Amino acid sequence: MTAAELVAAYSTGGLSPLEVLQAVLDHAHASQPDVNAFREIDVDGSLAAATASERRWRAGAPRGPLDGVPVSVKDMIATRGMATRFGSRTLPANHLIDVDAPAVAALREAGAIIFGKTTTSEFGHKIVTDSPLTGCTRNPWDRTLTSGGSSGGAGAALALGIGPLALGTDGGGSIRIPACWNGVFGFKPSFKRVPTAAGDDPTRLSNIGPMSRSVDDAALMLQVLCGARHDDWEIAPHAPLHWRDGLQDGVQGLRIAFSPDLGLTKVDDEIASSVAAAASVFEDLGAHVDIVDRPPPLHGYMSSRMHSIQWMCRVSHTVRAAAPHQRSEFDPDLLELADIAHCLPASALTDALQARHELAWGMHRFFHRYDLLLTPAFHRHPPPVPGLPADLRCAPPLTSWCNQTMQPAASIPCGRSAKGLPIGLQVVAQRYRDDLVLRACHAYEEARGRFPCAPLASAQRLGA
């Protein structure tokens, strides 16, 4: 069930938060051995929260729009009562255990039940979810494949129906890629649309955003997240908090650019066909759709390595902050990035920042001509576990540029491969036009119909 359906059932007494949470916890524990979506599940804390929610609903006094709704939180976002380990053995078992990030505090104030911390790659540094701390997280559609990353635990849990909402982070595609590969909806808002804790990301690439199985649920969650208390000097300009308003307005008359590959990568034929079919749906719904080979500002994007350079410098900072004896505790993939960054001249970083500035201006002008841009969310299907293939050890070409330009972008399921693997459509809008992304995705979702959940753990043998 969606979050909206759960709240409606609570209001009529058809369901209780306690029985819903118990079902979620049972399902989370049952799927954990072969999918491994959670670093920690807080049974006692979440049951206490569900009991309190049930009392509020019985009294006719729900706390907020998510009262009694189970929500998971990625293990890179501080969550009181559960340690935040960032997928790393270098952080203590009680790290940030008494702290709520602004987004998590807002969810609690709205009555949400925080029941678990989902897995991540170490410090979110790569697009598959495996780490020395938690091991591999597997794709629920095929347990031999990765769930993607770095919000891979969140994507896998949602795909299995373990709660309707998850809180993820995205510094280059870390919400959108697992959303794509797990067949769920993932939304990276405009930079700092959702408040974060002070000093979370000096590169100004990472965002906190909602993941769900429906666009309406993501809008409902975003409404809560944007109301978080904050003292963030970079917070986005004030916007209406009712992100569900206008969801039904459709795409009639919108100017949409569709790029099959952005001129940046070779897209798998099955994915290209599915995404092209999705783009035609927008035309059927009344939008004006133009095919564009490559927006001019993206010329040279991958060769400039602007995203990779900034990301490696960020990783290097993390490694240098650790004690020397902890070096052996890090993921070797992370250490490799840090060592490369250590050898880079300062000019490489300044060149990357200058290229970022030029890209942001160029895409700003591009979106004077178009309301939306459609692309595949990822160019190939998920690779096998464990490990990260050599061809995926670069910045994700179709998603990472949106972090450079701070634009809102989402991945929404648009079909399945011959082997049953989900395929994702990416929808991008001008910075601060988060409402347009949600509205367009909702229109497409209505036309597409409800996307299924992944097979239950009991219905699929590991490695089958």
The pLDDT tens digits along the chain (464 residues) read: 999 999 999 999 999 999 999 999 999 999 999 999 999 999 999 999 999 999 999 999 999 999 999 999 999 999 999 999 999 999 999 999 999 999 999 999 999 999 999 999 999 999 999 999 999 999 999 999 999 999 999 999 999 999 999 999 999 999 999 999 999 999 999 999 999 876 677 899 999 999 999 999 999 999 999 988 777 778 877 665 689 999 999 999 999 999 999 999 999 999 999 999 999 999 999 999 999 999 999 999 999 999 999 999 999 999 999 999 999 999 999 999 999 999 999 999 999 999 999 999 999 999 999 999 999 999 999 999 999 999 999 999 999 999 999 999 999 999 999 999 999 999 999 999 999 999 999 999 999 999 999 987 644 443 33
Cα–Cα distances (Å) from 324 to 82, 181, 320, 328, in that order, read 27, 37, 8, 9
Q: How far is CA 9 from the centre of its chain?
A: 27
Structure tokens at 307: 């995203």
Among residues 150, 190, 274, 304, the one annotated as catalytic is 150
* pLDDT score at 9: 98
The bridge status of strand 138-139 relative to strand 185-188 is unpaired
Distance CA 32, CA 35 (A): 5
Handedness of CA 181, 402, 305, 121 (dihedral sign): negative
Q: Cα(310)–Cα(353) distance, rounded to whole angstroms?
A: 8
Catalytic residue among 16, 74, 121, 126: 74
DSSP H or E run through 412: strand 409-416
> Active site includes 316?
no
The two structure tokens encoding residue 235? 């917070």
The amino acid that residue 236 corresponds to is: A
| 3-state SS assignment for residue 377 | coil
Cβ neighbors of 28 (< 8 A, separation 6 or more) are 37, 38, 41, 115, 116, 157, 162
The tokens describing 158, both together, are: 């949602």
Tell me the C-alpha to C-alpha distance, in Å, between residue 31 and each of 3, 74, 143, 162, 373: 21, 17, 11, 9, 36
Q: Measure the CA–CA gap between 126 and 333, rounded to whole angstroms.
A: 8
**What pLDDT does residue 462 have?**
38
Which residue has tokens 């399921």? 413
Q: How buried is residue 305: exposed, middle or buried, by Cβ count under 10 Å (0-12/13-18/19+)?
A: middle
Radius of gyration of the chain (CA): 21
The pairing of strands 165-170 and 207-212 is antiparallel
123 exposed, middle or buried (CB, 10 Å; 0-12, 13-18, 19+)? buried
**Superfamily for domain range 3-459:** Amidase signature (AS) domain (3.90.1300.10)
DSSP 180: H
Write down the domain spans for the chain.
Answer: 3-459
**Annotation marks residue 88 as catalytic:** no
* Beta carbons within 8 Å of 263's beta carbon, 6+ residues apart: 293, 294, 298, 299
Q: Which residues contact 199 (CB under 8 A, 6 or more apart)?
A: none
Please name the residues in contact with 202: beta carbons below 8 A apart, sequence gap of 6 or more.
314, 317
Q: State how far the Cα of 412 lies from the Cα of 130, in Å rounded to an integer.
A: 24
Contact of 258 with 425, CB cutoff 8 Å = no
| pLDDT score of 251 | 98
Q: What is the DSSP letter of 450?
A: P
Catalytic residue selected from 174, 190, 212, 274:
174
pLDDT per residue over 168-183, tens digit each?
Answer: 999 999 999 999 999 9
- How far apart are alpha carbons 75 and 116 in whole angstroms? 9
pLDDT reported for residue 242: 87
- pLDDT for res 457: 60
Using DSSP's 3-state secondary structure scheme, residue 174 falls into coil
**Cα–Cα distance, 385 to 439 (Å, whole number):** 35
Q: What is the pTM of this model?
A: 0.96
Burial class of residue 51, CB neighbours in 10 A (0-12, 13-18, 19+): middle
| Residue 129, CA atoms < 13 Å, CB-side half-sphere | 41
Q: Is 150 in the active site?
A: yes
How far is 375 from 404, CA to CA, in rounded Å?
17
| Cα angle for residues 49, 18, 52 (degrees, 5° grid) | 35
Query: What type of residue sits at position 287?
Result: A
pLDDT at res. 459 = 46
Cβ neighbourhood burial of 368 (10 Å; 0-12, 13-18, 19+): exposed
Beta bridge partners of 428: 373, 409
